[in-house]
Amino acid sequence: MHAAGDAPGSGRAGGAPAARGRAGSRAAVAALAGAALLLVLFGIRGLAPGGDALELPERIRDLLTLSISVLIESLPFVFLGVLLSIVVQIWLPATLFDRLLPRSRVLRRAVLSLLGVLLPVCECGNVPLARGLMVRGLSVSESITFLLAAPILNPVTIITTYQAFGWENGILAARIVGGFVIANLAGWVFDRHPRQHELLTPRFGASCSRPAAGGGRAGHDHAGHDHAGHDHGGREGVRSRLRRSALGFAAETSALLPALIVGSAIAGAIQVGVSREALVTLGSHPVYSVLALIALAFVIAICSNVDSFFILSFASTFMPGSIVAFLLFGAMMDVKMIALLRTTFTARTLALLAALVGLCCLCIGWGMNLVA
């Protein structure tokens, strides 16, 4: 691969700075547009309650309130996930995961599904982190395993679920075990795909192939020669990595923020349009109650770190298996997540992934309700 990477490496001295400059400009424009949209939304929402300056229909005010709340709740975790992704892509040694992870693909996915214990980020923050893992060389199936398991198998989610339910009705145990099983089952299913790169969008797939073509880690292949084994005192290497970190942060946020804004708006619109009372009437049926709470989890788009307290108010109406289905599906697949994941995976991949996760949650919830 080094021979093939030499020509692109020499071309980077001229073409790459211009390309990075254009990418940085696009990122700045996207960031400014997103900030302007946020200001407009906050302005409308702030003026609406007064009545004198601007009077909006109640459903429009609810839409703005719900959309902004979903967006504000998600933004810190997205930024944290982008920072962790930059650390993985640029600052960690290229061979770290190969050294630490088992050789067996089954065991690799099992270990990656437990990585959330060390990285307590909710589901929206795990999207940029999973992107960084794929750029760093992990397979699509391994990244999907991490992506599904990490929001559930992290200490914050486990503690909040325990605080809400304790060990009552096996809800906590079922969430932990179910999250691990579903994530590894999904990883195994997508590992069967003969050409996993086809599961990715062409744009992101191209970004995953570029580091491999470069033949080295970030900051180790500039000026047309290999710096492995010497660092020139580390000054240039650190400056180069800091610059690439800033550019990478801008590029990731410009790719994810529009999707997050759209997903938050859709989540708010669905919440305004769907009656929760209609869902509650299904609470005592062993199957329909599961389907109702899976639909609610998809619509409500609430962070996995606090979803236990939200659904606790439904515990007296819905059966335990339905609660577990909500806690599993919502942490893995909601309308906000679909919008974020669309920046990385094809629509067909997302449809298959959502169907697989939904079917697994239905089976787990239904089975628990039958024995409850």
Q: How confident is the model at residue 223 (pLDDT cuts 50, 70, 90)?
A: very low
| Cα(274)–Cα(176) distance, integer angstroms | 29
Write down the pTM of the prediction: 0.67
Q: Which residue has the higher pLDDT, 314 or 222?
A: 314
pLDDT at 145: 94
Question: Radius of gyration (Cα) for the chain, nearest Å?
Answer: 22
Place 149 in a pLDDT band, splitting at 50, 70 and 90.
very high
Q: Which residues of 55-64 are buried (b: 16+ CB within 10 A; e: fewer)?
A: ebeeeebebb
* 301/199: higher pLDDT: 199
- Most confidently predicted of 1-15, 126-140, 239-253, 349-363: 349-363
Q: What is the pLDDT of residue 46?
A: 55
Residue 218 has pLDDT above 50, yes or no: no
Among the listed residues 313, 334, 328, the one whose alpha carbon sits nearest the alpha carbon of residue 363 = 328
Q: What is the pLDDT of residue 366?
A: 94
Say which DSSP state 226 is in.
Answer: -
Name the pLDDT band for 210 (thresholds 50, 70, 90). low
**Model confidence at 174, in pLDDT bands (50, 70, 90)?**
very high
Mean pLDDT of 335-345: 88
Q: Which residues touch 110 (CB under 8 Å, ≥6 apart)?
A: 184
Q: What is the pLDDT of residue 327?
A: 94
Q: Does 64 have pLDDT greater than 90?
A: no
CA 141 to mean position of chain CA atoms: 15
